[in-house]
C-alpha cells in the first residue's frame, strides 16, 4: 500500500542549507510530505522592499494578500512580532541559529562599530537584518545614534552596498560569505535565533514532519558538510549568479537547526526590546501560548 504524501509549500529563506538537503536526500518524503519550494516568496524576500509597508512585504503576502499556506522562517524577533500582529504562528519546538554581520566597502573610513554613529545601515524593515542592528550596536552607541534605512531583502542590501547607495549593510548568510569573497570589510558580527512561521491552521503532520526533516538534514550536514556546500547555489539571488566566480566550498554552514524547544521567556524579551526600539506599533496579543503553533 502506497502512503499518500501531504502537499506543502515551503519558502526557503536561504540562510542555511537544511531545506535543500532535506529535499535532496528525501527527508521530506520520508516524513510524509510532498514539498514544493515557493520560490516566489523566497526570491521576494531577497529583493528590494522599499515600496512596501508592513503587511505588504513578500513574506507577509501569504497571510494578507495571496492567502496561501506556506511554511517559512524568519528571525526570532520578526516571527514573534508577525504572530502578534495576526500573521501566523511561531513554531517553538525547534529554532535556528544564524550568523549576522555589518559590512562596508573596502575603501570606507568605517573600521569599528563606533564609527557607525549616525550612519544609516541598510536593513530589511522589521526583519532579522533590522532588529539585529540596535540589538548589537547598543553595546557601542546610544540608541538615538543608531540609524537604519529600509533597503529590503538579502540581495538588495548587498547590491546597495556595492553600488554605493549606502555606507554599511546588515547582512545574513549567504551574503556574508559573498561579501567576504568580494573583499568587503566586516565591522561587527554575531549570531541570532531564527524561528519557523506557519498558518495557525496548519496540519500537525505538516508542521512536525517538516521540523523532523530539518533535524534529519542537520544531522546529515554535521556528518558531511562538504557534500552539501554546493547547494548554496540555490540561495544566491539570480542577479548575483554570474556576478562573481563564487567558491561555495568557502561559504561555511550558515544557519544551524537546533532540535530543542524555544524557551517561553524569549517572547517577553522580544516584546521588551521591540518596545524600546519603537517597533511595537503592530503588536497585539502577547501571550506565548496564543502566538505559538499548537497541535
CATH code of the domain in which 59 resides: 3.40.190.10
Q: Specify the pLDDT at position 52.
A: 84
Q: Specify the pLDDT at position 11.
A: 93
Q: Specify the pLDDT at position 262.
A: 96
Cβ–Cβ < 8 Å for 169, 47: no
Give how far Cα 36 sits from Cα of 7, 42, 172, 201, 214, Å. 7, 12, 24, 19, 15
Domain span at residue 68 reads: 6-97+193-291
Q: Specify the pLDDT at position 3.
A: 75
Mean of pLDDT over the chain: 94
Q: Specify the pLDDT at position 2.
A: 55
pTM check: above 0.85: yes
Q: Identify the CA nearest to 185 among candidates 106, 71, 288.
A: 106
User: 153 and 268 share a domain?
Assistant: no
User: 20 and 142 share a domain?
Assistant: no
User: 233 and 158 share a domain?
Assistant: no
Q: Specify the pLDDT at position 156.
A: 92
Query: Using CA atoms, how far apart are residues 281 and 148, in angstroms rounded to an integer?
Result: 17
User: 174 and 246 share a domain?
Assistant: no
User: 79 and 209 share a domain?
Assistant: yes
- Greatest Cα pair distance, the chain, in angstroms, is 66
Domains held by the chain: number: 2
User: 206 and 180 share a domain?
Assistant: no
Q: List, in order, residues 6 or more apart from 161 with CB less than 8 Å away.
A: 103, 104, 105, 122, 168, 169, 179, 184
Block residue for cell numbers 556595492 = 162
Q: Specify the pLDDT at position 70.
A: 92
Domain boundary among 156, 191, 226: 191
Domain boundary among 166, 191, 216: 191
User: 38 and 86 share a domain?
Assistant: yes
Query: Using CA atoms, how far apart are residues 37 and 139, in angstroms rounded to an integer?
Result: 39
Block residue for cell numbers 544551524 = 256
User: 89 and 233 share a domain?
Assistant: yes
Q: Which residues of the chain have pLDDT under 70?
A: 1-2, 295
User: 285 and 214 share a domain?
Assistant: yes
Instruction: Establish if 1 belongs to a structural domain.
Output: no
Amino acid at each position: 500500500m502506497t502512503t499518500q504524501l501531504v502537499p506543502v509549500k515551503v519558502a526557503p529563506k536561504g540562510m542555511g542549507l537544511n531545506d535543500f538537503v532535506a529535499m535532496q536526500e528525501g527527508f521530506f518524503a520520508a516524513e510524509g510530505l510532498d514539498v514544493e519550494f515557493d520560490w516566489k516568496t523566497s526570491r521576494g524576500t531577497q529583493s528590494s522592499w522599499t515600496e512596501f509597508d508592513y503587511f505588504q512585504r513578500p513574506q507577509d503576502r501569504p497571510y494578507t494578500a495571496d492567502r496561501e499556506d506556506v511554511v517559512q522562517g524568519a528571525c526570532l524577533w520578526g516571527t514573534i512580532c508577525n504572530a502578534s500582529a495576526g500573521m501566523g504562528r511561531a513554531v517553538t519546538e525547534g529554532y535556528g541559529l544564524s550568523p549576522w554581520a555589518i559590512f562596508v566597502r573596502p575603501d570606507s573610513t568605517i573600521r569599528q562599530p563606533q564609527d557607525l554613529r549616525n550612519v544609516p545601515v541598510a536593513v530589511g524593515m522589521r526583519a532579522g537584518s533590522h532588529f539585529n542592528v540596535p540589538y548589537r550596536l547598543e553595546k557601542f552607541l546610544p540608541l538615538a545614534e543608531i540609524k537604519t534605512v529600509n533597503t529590503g531583502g538579502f540581495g538588495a542590501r548587498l547590491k546597495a552596498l556595492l553600488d554605493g547607495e549606502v555606507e554599511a549593510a546588515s547582512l545574513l548568510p549567504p551574503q556574508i560569505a559573498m561579501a567576504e569573497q568580494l573583499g568587503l570589510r566586516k565591522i561587527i558580527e554575531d549570531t541570532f535565533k531564527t524561528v519557523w512561521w506557519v498558518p495557525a491552521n496548519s496540519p500537525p503532520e505538516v508542521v512536525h514532519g517538516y521540523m523532523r526533516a530539518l533535524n534529519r538534514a542537520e544531522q546529515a550536514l554535521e556528518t558531511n558538510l562538504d557534500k552539501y556546500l554546493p547547494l548554496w547555489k540555490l540561495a544566491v539571488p539570480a542577479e548575483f549568479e554570474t556576478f562573481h566566480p563564487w567558491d561555495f566550498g568557502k561559504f561555511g554552514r550558515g544557519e544551524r537547526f537546533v532540535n530543542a524547544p524555544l524557551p517561553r521567556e524569549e517572547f517577553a524579551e522580544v516584546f521588551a526590546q521591540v518596545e524600546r526600539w519603537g517597533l511595537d506599533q503592530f503588536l497585539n496579543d502577547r501571550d506565548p501560548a496564543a502566538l505559538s503553533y499548537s497541535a
